[in-house]
């Protein structure tokens, strides 16, 4: 008995084999051109030069007392015994926007939360902060863009300013604060939370985590030196740590965007983010709202406790698997106090170096 002739479909299958399974080539992560961090760098230097121009040490003191007055003239530094960091006088920093508790609380000059982070006590302080800014900030802006890093820098700086001002209310009575260290520690804190929330996409995880913890620990240890305020460092670091979970999330390893899948292929895709990333996001938003609200209300309510009563209510609503809302309400019980409006507006959405008449603190 002879063999049956091959079926036509078998002949076509042998002649035209099925196409191989598709390979998906994800594009390389986008690298942004860093311009915001260099702009902040230039702005800080320009503002420091302007502060030295406004300081005009020879106009208030003998030229022989001012440092380098023979070469710098109007831009000469205050005497070393007054400012060992080679910078302006306290009066100049106060006029230009340094953070001082009496001006912020009594005169409602809340804008000092932000202006103080662009002022520096001296050349030494300025150079230390600016080199750190370039070393940390440029890399983050390349990876995440200017919008997220800009928000992170300002909000972390605000957290550092807030905690430092609360600490000042309990320690020093005549101290001003300037500097960008709180915002810089916010960037460090965000680097740590970014590593934790994006754990699945990193290689050499333990080595990266150990190196980052050593850097953070050494920088925090500097805060225990004389004339260094660690409350700004801690406040900025904690704010940046929580903000990193919110602003610096990346898609998990193996996630494929639908637009990169060829038409006609039904591929089971991973979710964009892992469950623990959503958990960190929600908890961080709650902690940020509660921390900012508590700090602002505590700052003002201690000044006039009868005028402001704080009532915060948090309600969590899950409207979709990937969309959440945190609602925080403030209610006024009696009296009129501008601090209420400041605290209320802070929920919808500065860092400092204190220099006092009798003490000099750097951050």
d(CA 230, CA 163): 10
236, 158 Cβ separation under 8 angstroms: no
DSSP state string for 313-354: EEEEEEEETTEEEEEEE----SS--HHHHHHHHHHH-----E
Comparing C-alpha atoms, which of 81, 90, 99 is closest to residue 55?
Answer: 90
Which of 69, 233, 350, 363 does the annotation list as catalytic?
233
Distance CA 320, CA 45 (A): 46
Could you confirm whether 304 is annotated as catalytic? Answer: no
Distance CA 102, CA 106 (A): 5
Q: What is the DSSP string of 53-114?
A: HHH-HHHHS-TTTSBTHHHHGGGPBPPTTT-TTS---HHHHHHHT-EEHHHHHTS--TTHHH
Angle 295-296-302 (CA atoms, 0-180°, nearest 5)?
A: 90
Would residue 181 show up in a list of annotated catalytic residues for this protein?
A: yes
- In contact, 354 and 177? CB cutoff 8 Å: yes
Please choose, from the candidates 123, 27, 108, the residue with its C-alpha nearest in 3D space to the C-alpha of residue 75.
123
Rounded Cα distance, 138 and 136, in Å = 6
Q: Are 272 and 252 in contact (CB under 8 A)?
A: yes
CA 231 to chain centre: 15
| CA–CA distances in Å: residue 124 to residues 48, 83, 134 | 12, 11, 16
Single out the catalytic residue among 76, 164, 177, 181: 181
- The first and second tokens of residue 215, run together, are 């850097």
Which tokens in the block code for residue 280? 């960190």
What is the CB-side half-sphere exposure of residue 121 using CA atoms within 13 A?
A: 31
Q: What positions carry a catalytic annotation?
A: 181, 233
């Amino acid at each position: 008995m002879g063999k049956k002739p091959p079926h036509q479909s078998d002949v076509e299958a042998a002649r035209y084999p099925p196409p191989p399974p598709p390979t998906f080539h994800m594009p390389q992560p986008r690298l942004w051109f860093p311009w915001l961090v260099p702009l902040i760098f230039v702005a800080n230097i320009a503002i420091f030069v302007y502060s030295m121009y406004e300081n005009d040490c020879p106009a208030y003191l003998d030229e022989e007392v001012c440092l380098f007055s023979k070469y710098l003239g109007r831009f000469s530094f205050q005497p070393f015994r007054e400012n060992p960091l080679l910078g302006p006088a306290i009066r100049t920093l106060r006029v230009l926007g340094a953070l001082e508790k009496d001006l912020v609380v009594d005169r409602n000059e809340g804008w000092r939360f932000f202006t103080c982070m662009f002022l520096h006590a001296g050349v030494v302080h300025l150079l230390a902060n600016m080199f750190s800014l370039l070393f940390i900030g440029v890399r983050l802006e390349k990876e995440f863009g200017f919008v997220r890093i800009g928000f992170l820098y300002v909000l972390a700086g605000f957290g550092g300013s807030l905690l430092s001002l609360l600490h000042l209310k309990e320690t020093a009575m005549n101290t001003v604060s300037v500097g960008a260290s709180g915002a810089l520690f916010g960037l460090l804190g965000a680097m740590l939370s970014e590593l934790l929330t994006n754990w699945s996409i990193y290689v050499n995880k333990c080595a990266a985590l150990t190196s980052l913890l050593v850097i953070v620990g050494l920088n925090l240890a500097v805060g225990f030196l004389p004339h260094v305020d660690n409350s700004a460092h801690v406040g900025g670091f904690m704010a940046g740590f929580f903000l990193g979970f919110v602003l610096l999330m990346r898609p998990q390893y193996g996630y494929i965007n639908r637009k990169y899948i060829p038409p006609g292929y039904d591929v089971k895709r991973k979710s964009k983010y892992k469950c623990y990333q959503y958990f960190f996001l929600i908890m961080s938003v709650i902690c940020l709202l509660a921390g900012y609200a508590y700090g602002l209300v505590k700052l003002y309510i201690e000044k006039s406790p009868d005028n402001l009563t704080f009532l915060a209510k948090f309600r969590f609503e899950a409207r979709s698997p990937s969309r959440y809302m945190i609602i925080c309400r403030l209610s006024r019980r009696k009296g009129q106090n501008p601090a209420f409006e400041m605290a209320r507006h802070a929920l919808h959405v500065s860092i400092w170096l204190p220099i006092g008449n009798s003490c000099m603190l750097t951050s």
